[in-house]
Structures are given as structure tokens and as C-alpha cells.
Chains A and B, each alone.
Chain A
Amino acid sequence: MVTKPIEGEKRAFMTGNEVVAWAALAAGADIMYGYPITPQNEIMHYWIRLAPKYDKNFLQTEDEISAGFTCVGGVMAGKKAFTATAGPGNILMQESMTMAEMMRIPTVLVVCQRGGPSTATVIYSQQEVTLTCFGGNGEGFRIVYSTSGQQDLFDYTIKAFNTAWKYRFPTFVLGDGYQAKMRESVTIYDPEVRGIKMIEPEPFVGKAGMPALDRDPAHYRNTYNLEEELYEVVTAMAKEFEQIAPELVEYQEFETEDCEVLILAHGVVSRAVRGAVEALRAQGIKAGHFRPITLRPFPAEQLKQTVQKAKKVLVVESAVGQLEKIIKQSTYGVTTPMTNYFRPGEGITVEEVVEEVVEEVKKLV
């Protein structure tokens, strides 16, 4: 009965939430555990409508804590399980994601950032960067893809399933309310036609055979009795995370070869910055743009090299320095002057970025 949800490639005009649901289907996800919170609800709505047609499952849980932990359970049972949330829900899901981090459970969590702190707005912000990258107790060994639009949402949701299963660290797709709710053109595809081989999931518990007779019983814990025991576990995890980081980091550069003013932004803001770079170049200002796609691990080395080439750096984000914090840490020792343009909870336009850069350039002269 089950056919492929997407045959070949197709052009579509969709909201980001719809794109995520289709991407999860295309990636071969089996089950979604979810709890309503705006602005991610339609991921769930589309998934549950599509699910019976493709023999997929869904459970609406009692809260986000449960959605996170049932998701962990689903993955442990050998299914490609995923969940999605935002804002206060993201906070509640950090608990389960730290367990996934400790047990190396390949969870996929889509975050559609809304305003913060607390309930704030249900619309948009880039204020869940710190929480998504470093939330939870522990060290934040997880992978975070920051998307800038519908095509990214499709590509990176598919990718997240493979990244999670390959590296076995919790993997996040960090979108936002604008991407979730706006409609734009996107190419959706069966990963196979692009040569993407999806990794088959395997069970952590309930494998074939009698425990202790045919195989060892699977005993998963996230409690350790001794300091030394924990030190070994976390140190090994840190080492592995560091080793795989170069394979994982992704970024984009626009006009950075000869750029004097380097603009740093991630996610949907990157699109305004790209537009601004074009406009500034037309005015004769040598602007360039660096966009980290993975916020965790962060493309620190690549950024450092590009920052060193510029005379001035401008960080643009819809938050009060959550990205800037990571940038400053990653470019420690580089002396290029850095300023910022922060609009917490607000969208950022091409014109605003242009104006800001023109002001900064005046100061340079």
C-alpha cells in the first residue's frame, strides 16, 4: 500500500511547517510525538493528515516533556521518531534532549523560534539560539542547523535524520516563526534522486534474540555513580564531538573575497543581509556576508579566517547577542573591530542593514 511520498522532484508553494512535514516523510520518518505550541503546530497538522496514507504514526502527548521523552523512546525502539516545538516547549524538551545526549540517542527536533523570554510572542525571533545550542545540564553536545527558508527546511530536515543516525547526537533544525508560517517556492524531492542514501534506523532495545543467551541485554542509563566514571564518559564524548566537528560544520560566504565590511548573520536574517550586500556593492561599498549554517558545532576556523580579512565586522540578529556570543568566542584573538545590530523579536530588512553598514563605513573613514 505504501508508495513513496514524493516521486522524483516537484516544485511546490508551501509554508515552512508544511515543508518540514513533507521532508520528514521524504526522510522516512516513522512516528512523530508532538505537543501543540505556536508557531510549529502545522508540522503536526500536516504530519497527522499525511500519516495514514504512508503507514506512519503520531502521538499527541500531554506536554512537551512527554513529547521529548516519548520521542527518545520511539528512537530506542528502532524507529525514526521526531518532534517539533518552540519557546517554552523548547525549554521543556531540553530535559529529554540531555538524556539523548548522554545515551547517544539520534533524536531529531525541529524548533520554530518564537519571541522570548517566557511566553513573549508567538511570532518570531532568533532568541532560542543559546537554548538550542547549549540548553540543558551538561556540555551541549548536539548538532544545530540554522535554516534560512523553505528550501533549507526541506534539505536540512532530511539531512538531520541522517546526521542524527550517523553521529548519534541529538540533532536540531532551528527555524523560526517567519519560516514556519510564510509560503514560498520550494523544490521537494525524494532523497534518492539526489543520491542521498537515508540511513536505516536500528533498535537500541528489543533487538532479536534472548538477552544474556543470544546477546547481551541492552542496559541504557544516564546516571553514573562515581566522578571518575562520569569524567571518562564526558571526556570521551567531548573528544568525539571535537573530532567529528570538521565533517559537520557548514557555512556560506557571499562576496567575502575582497570585503571590507563583513556582515555576520544566521537563519532568515541572512537573506536580508545577502540583499544588503548586493545593494551596498551597487553603492561601491565592499560588503560581504558570512552565514554559519551549523551553529553547533560552529564553523569557527573558517569564520576566523574571513573575519581577519575584513576591516570591520557587523553582527546582525533578531536577538540581543546570542549569535554574537558564539562568534566572539570563536574568533578569540582576532582584532577586527566588531559592532552589532540587534532587533530582539523583530524581523530585519535589507534597508535596515544597508543603513547600518553605511553608518559604520562613515566611522571607518
Chain B
Amino acid sequence: METIIEPKMPKVWRKETKPHKFCPGCGHPLVLKVLGEAIEELEIQERTVFGCDIGCSLLAWDFFNVDSVQTHHGRTTPVITGIKRANSNLIGIAYMGDGGGYAIGSQHLVNAAARNEKITVILVNNTIYAMTGGQMAPTTLPNQKTETSPYGREIEATGYPTLGPEMVSAITQEGAYIARGTVANLRQLKKFIKNALENQVNGNGFSFVEALSLCPTNWRTNAEETWKFVEDEMTKYFKVGELKTPGKKEEA
């Protein structure tokens, strides 16, 4: 008799909306899976509010069995801030891409971090504007080809890629938690996300995790090249690790 083994998914995984709507090979579902596990393990499903941007992250609007709100490019941080300020018992997660967090919504990220808003921001960095068709993002690597940098990103003309966690680390005070993980190391990424959420549960302060992620569709890469890019190329510029933990000062 044929046995079907169902993969173990967290309770917050909303089966009704699966299979999910992300492209095959996308990094979002990996980040979301560990986020779901972290929510379950911390037993915060009942009071979690998940917010996402326009862009690929919007496809997560009904991903979980948690209350969700999908808002505009870059505006997830203020929406979650507004929710948290109105009801401090809730656990607010602002989930966005690199465009939403570092370009159009950067003033919100910077100011929420500076105000030490007690929310958790999870930012998925795939070095590109993916849903709009692969344009250059603040995180596009030097010489990387995109639709708006067809000959490769020229640093002279467009500057260096944004180092988000480093920036947030520089402007936050005690109580903040800041880390950069990668979908190439999911156990570690899960630990960072769990730490970030726990930081909010403990009422310490702003918590921020950048997750290095994949976009084989817009990168136009096969499986091997995709993983090579995220594991080797991206980590040369974007260092993985914890940058700030509550109680401790900055770690290199």
C-alpha cells in the first residue's frame, strides 16, 4: 500500500492557501516556514499580527493562520507600528522586501528603529525588485545585471548596496536585536527570527532580521547558480550573523 508522508508544517501554516503563490525556487516560503515555526514555538499565534508590503511579500497576505494585513510599498512598518502602539499586547511583524525596507520605506525603517518601536521587522533581501520584473534594488551587488542595470550595477553612478542591519545597528539603542541570516542556513535563520520575536515578547525594543534570499526567476539562474550566488556572492558583501543583542553591545 502506498504511504503518503505529509511534511511536518507549523500549526500556523494555513493549508487552505497552499500550494502557495510564490515562484518555484523562491526564498520567501523558506523564510516564512521558519517564521511560522518560530511563532508556533513561542506560542504567540493568538496575538501575532503579520503585515506585508506590495511586491513579492504581498503573496503572504493569507499564508498563515494569524491575523494579517497587506499594505503598500514600504508602509508595513508604520502600519504595524500603529497596531502595536494601539495594543501593546499584540506581537507585530512587519515583513517586507529590500525595496520596501531600504528604498521607498527607508524613512519608516530608520525612524521606527530610532524610536525603538517594539516591533519585529523581517526583511527579505534578494538583491532585486522581483515582482516588478527584476529592476535594480538598493541591495543589488556591484556589477550585478538587472533590468535597470543591464550592463551591471555601476557603483560610481548608483552607489554601494545598502547594508541594512549595519545601518539599523548604528541607529538603535539598548534593547534592540539585529541579525542577518540566510535561507542557505535555515536553522540559523530560524534562531535569529525566533530571537527577534522573543525580543519583542520580552518588550525589549526594536528587532530586525535581514534574510538573504533567492530569486532564480529574475536572476535567470539554474539551481546550482542560484545557490552559488546566495551562498558565495551575496555573503561576501552581506555578512551573516548577529549584530546586536539586548544587553550586549555590538558584535562584529
Chain B contacts with A in 61-90, Cβ cutoff 8 A: 61-62, 64-72, 75, 78-87, 89-90
A212 near B54 (CB under 8 angstroms)? Answer: no
Shortest Cβ distance from B228 into chain A, in angstroms? 33
Q: A77-B84, A78-B86, A223-B54 are in contact. List 4 more A-B contacts (CB 8 A).
A: A57-B85, A69-B71, A69-B78, A74-B83
Shortest Cβ distance from B120 into chain A, in angstroms? 15
Interface residues on B, range: 35 or more
In whole angstroms, how far apart are the Cα atoms of A95 and B75 in the complex? 10
Enumerate 30 A-B pairs (CB-CB under 8 Å) in ascending A order.
A57-B85, A61-B78, A62-B107, A62-B108, A65-B108, A66-B78, A69-B75, A69-B82, A70-B81, A70-B82, A71-B82, A73-B69, A73-B78, A73-B79, A73-B81, A74-B85, A76-B69, A77-B90, A203-B87, A205-B49, A205-B68, A206-B49, A211-B45, A212-B14, A217-B64, A219-B62, A220-B61, A221-B58, A221-B62, A222-B72
B82 near A77 (CB under 8 angstroms)? Answer: yes
Residues of chain B within 8 A of A219, CB atoms compared: 61-62, 67-68
In whole angstroms, how far apart are the Cα atoms of A219 and B17 in the complex? 12
Cβ contacts A3-39/B at 8 Å (1 or 0 each): 0000000000000000000000000001101000000
Residues of chain A within 8 A of B58, CB atoms compared: 221, 223
Q: Is B116 an interface residue (CB 8 A)?
A: no
Residues of chain B within 8 A of A221, CB atoms compared: 58, 61-62, 68-70
Q: Is A63 an interface residue (CB 8 A)?
A: yes
Residues of chain A within 8 A of B71, CB atoms compared: 69, 72, 99, 222
* Nearest 6 A/B pairs, CB to CB: A73-B82, A70-B82, A212-B65, A62-B111, A77-B86, A205-B67
In whole angstroms, how far apart are the Cα atoms of A59 and B108 in the complex? 14
Residue of A nearest to B47 (CB): A206
Residues of chain B within 8 A of A66, CB atoms compared: 78, 81, 107-108, 111
Select B46's contact among A31, A75, A209, beta carbons within 8 Å: A209
Chain A contacts with B in 31-72, Cβ cutoff 8 A: 31, 33, 57, 59, 61-63, 65-66, 69-72
Residues of chain A within 8 A of B79, CB atoms compared: 69-70, 72-73, 76
Residues of chain B within 8 A of A63, CB atoms compared: 107
Considering only CB atoms and an 8 Å cut-off, how many residues of chain A contact the other chain?
Answer: 42
Q: Is A159 an interface residue (CB 8 A)?
A: no
Chain A contacts with B in 210-241, Cβ cutoff 8 A: 210-212, 217-223
In whole angstroms, how far apart are the Cα atoms of A30 and B88 in the complex? 14
Residues of chain A within 8 A of B68, CB atoms compared: 205, 217-221
In whole angstroms, how far apart are the Cα atoms of A25 and B166 in the complex? 42
A31 near B108 (CB under 8 angstroms)? Answer: no
Cβ contacts A122-153/B at 8 Å (1 or 0 each): 00000000000000000000000000000000
Shortest Cβ distance from B67 into chain A, in angstroms? 4
In whole angstroms, how far apart are the Cα atoms of A298 and B147 in the complex? 47
Q: Is A79 an interface residue (CB 8 A)?
A: yes
Residues of chain A within 8 A of B111, CB atoms compared: 61-62, 66
Shortest Cβ distance from B119 into chain A, in angstroms? 10
